Structures are given as structure tokens and as C-alpha cells.
Amino acid sequence: MRFEFDSKIQQLEGKIKWNVLYFPYSVAEHFDIKGNVPVRITVDGHEFEHTLLPSKNGHYMVYNEFIKRVVKKNLGDSVHITLEKDSRKREVIIPTYIEQSLQEAGLLEKFNKQADYIKREQINYIEIAKKEDTKSRRVNALIKRLCESIL
């Protein structure tokens, strides 16, 4: 089933101050799920893999840095969204420079033993850096954390 709707970029209510896009339909009714739902979306014509997350006000998607950089809209603006449930198995893709750094440090296997959502979060944190030296510092910090962690 494909959904098409407009959504205003809003701030999530509660402790976490994320910018989000609310899904205006019942996830339980349309997907027979109450929790997270993997989805494929377009935001103003740009494609992304994403996840619908539950909240007391309904399901939402985080308007993250990757989307913001492409769409170039801010809090309070509206975007046009198409959305479909993504039934494909999702794989974590490690950028080559991160994979090489982890391999050289002897930590690639340890990195890969982490849960997929943790690996994605770590990779995204590195990837959103605009400057190469910032990316490099973040890779080095990841290597240090992996060295110190017990898995």
C-alpha cells in the first residue's frame, strides 16, 4: 500500500528535541503493527530508507540531517511525502574508508558484532560531518570506543 501526504516539519514532544514528520494514518490499522515500521519514502521527490517510530501522538519519522541537506527545508515548513512499507531485508553498508580504518585497527569483526541500529547510528554520525578532518576524528573516536568496549 502506498501513501501520499503533506507533513509539516515539527519538533517531537518530550525530552528528545528531534525535528519530525508525522504519519497521518493509523499504523496499527494499515500495517497491523504497533511498533517500528521500516519504510521507503520520498520527501519532495528525494528517496530515502526510513523507519516509522511510535509516539503518544502517532507514528513519526525523524527529519534527519541527510533529508534536511537534500530537501533544504526547516522547522515549520511543509514537505510532500510518499511512503510504502519496506519488506526487504536491510543491510548496513559500511563506507569503504570506515571499513578500512576498522580493518587496519583489527576492529571490523568487533564492529560487525554490534546490533544493526547501533552500527547505522555510528556510521551516520561519521557521515554527517561536513569536513574530512571531522570525519577522521569521529572514525578515530569510534575506534577508541571499540577498543575500550567489551563485546
Q: What is the pLDDT of residues 43-86, one digit of tens each?
A: 999 999 999 999 988 999 999 988 999 999 999 999 999 999 99
What are the b/e assignments for 73-100, b being 16+ CB within 10 Å? beeeeebebebebeeeeeeeebeeebee
Indicate which CATH number applies to the domain containing 76: 2.40.30.100
One domain, residues 13 and 53 = yes
State the residue for C-alpha cell 527545508: 73
One domain, residues 74 and 104 = no
**Share of the chain residues as helix, strand and coil, in percent rounded to the nearest 5:** 35, 25, 40
Which residue, among 85, 84, 60, has the nearest Cα to 8 in the 3D structure? 60
Residues of the chain above pLDDT 70, percent:
99
Range of the domain at 136: 96-148
Q: Are 58 and 23 in contact (CB under 8 A)?
A: yes
For the cut 70, the answer to whether the pLDDT of residue 151 exceeds it is no
Which residue, among 119, 66, 77, 31, has the nearest Cα to 108 in the 3D structure? 119
> How many domains, the chain?
2
One domain, residues 79 and 12 = yes
136 vs 47: CA distance, rounded Å: 28
One domain, residues 13 and 39 = yes
Does 74 reside within a domain?
yes
67 vs 44: CA distance, rounded Å: 10
One domain, residues 81 and 12 = yes
One domain, residues 40 and 100 = no
pTM of the model: 0.76
